[in-house]
Amino acid sequence: MLTKAMATPNKLAQTLHDVLIPAASHLAPFTHALVNRLSGLAIAYHGSPIIEGDGKRCFDDTLRGGRGIARDFLLLCDPGDEAAMHDQLHRLSERLSSRVDVRGVHRGDALLVRPDGYIACSGRSASAMVDSVRSVVELQLH
């Protein structure tokens, strides 16, 4: 649709395009919306059967610098919960614990991040979302 609008043969539409786009490009909300639209970073998967929540991308700094997602999923949780979550996931299932990389970060909430960088589920703490983590990961394994 965006390509069609940019390459219209209609002279009036082309003139409006040539005047309005440069004028609007100086407005921060327009620029932000355009960048999100063109980059695909604003895509969300709300309602997907393998997502619990709004399905937005995770932009946590811990995913930068080559420290991406080492396994099928990344569970970002409070550093104090990291060891306990490793143990809890292992008790649930060795197969489950081998699929989820647990990383302690100071966020204030917990996130389960899919390999593509989208949030599979989130909660106030990792221990409060163990059932969600299990259901999302097991659904992905089948």
- The per-residue pLDDT for range 86-120, each reduced to its tens digit, is 888 888 877 777 888 888 888 778 888 888 788 88
> What is the C-alpha separation between 118 and 44, in angstroms, rounded?
8
Query: Would you state the pLDDT for residue 81?
Result: 83
User: Tokens 């999302």 belong to which residue?
Assistant: 136
pLDDT of residue 98: 82
Grouping H, G, I as helix, E, B as strand and the rest as coil, residue 27 is coil
From-to residues of CATH 3.40.30.120 in the chain: 61-141
pLDDT of residue 111: 87
Helix (H, G, I), strand (E, B) or coil at 30: helix
Mean pLDDT across the chain, nearest whole number?
75
Per-residue confidence of the chain (142 residues) as pLDDT tens digits?
555 555 667 777 777 767 777 776 777 777 767 666 666 556 656 666 666 666 677 776 666 655 666 668 888 888 888 888 888 888 887 777 788 888 888 877 888 888 878 888 888 888 888 888 888 888 776 6
Is the distance from CB of 37 to CB of 2 less than 8 angstroms?
Answer: yes
pLDDT at 6: 59
Fold for 61-141, please state it.
Glutaredoxin (3.40.30)
User: Are 60 and 105 a contacting pair, CB within 8 Å?
Assistant: yes
